[in-house]
Structure 1
Amino acid sequence: MNENAERVELTDIIASNRNEYADKTADRILAAGYRKPRTITTVEELDALPVESAVLSDMGNVYIKDIDLDDPTAIWWVTAGAVSEFPSIAITLPATILWEPAT
């Protein structure tokens, strides 16, 4: 869904509740899928994310968490167009979580 479509959907939800209490409006907004983006501030928080999580670094790079098939305990991050893998310490923080797989 693009940003404009999300805004229209959110506006429709709010407008449909003009005469209702604010908590009911908030419930409907949350039910529609809104979640405040989480911010990661430590390497330990990065390491705790599930494999395939995507984050946006403070420098504007997107990284996806991966594992080394030869050593499943090794944590690596890959980014589009890069041949290299990066350790968690290489990601500039704070970072915003863009996506997490269902656990």
Structure 2
Amino acid sequence: MGGANLSKSRLLKKFNINPSDPNIREEFAKWNKAGGKVFAGLLEEEKRKQIYISVSKRMSEVKQDMIDRKINGVVKIFGLAYKDVVALVATLSILLNIYFVYKIHNHE
């Protein structure tokens, strides 16, 4: 897959619009040639990419579901609004990152 061809491809356009678009798999399948000839190795690579995309998408869905369940649990327990819990989690994440960077920087 040449960089110049990729930059002008329908594949990249679809990916930039919606990385979860199921039609992206079909576009990947078109990228099976090198020097104008079909290469079996590229077909196998295409299958690996399809599996990777499918697994990545499912993992993302499962991760988001787990996050939503945990946030909903906090919402129920503390009576907070969903958006407030999301903001709190984001703030805590930033603070933890700052703390760990500080610890690493100061060799603690």
Q: What TM-score do you get using the length of structure 1 for normalisation?
A: 0.30
Whose helix fraction is larger, Structure 1's or Structure 2's?
Answer: 2
Between structure 1 and structure 2, the one with the greater Rg is 2
Structure with more relative contact order (C-alpha pairs < 8 Å, separation 6 or more) = 1
Whose strand fraction is larger, Structure 1's or Structure 2's?
Answer: 1
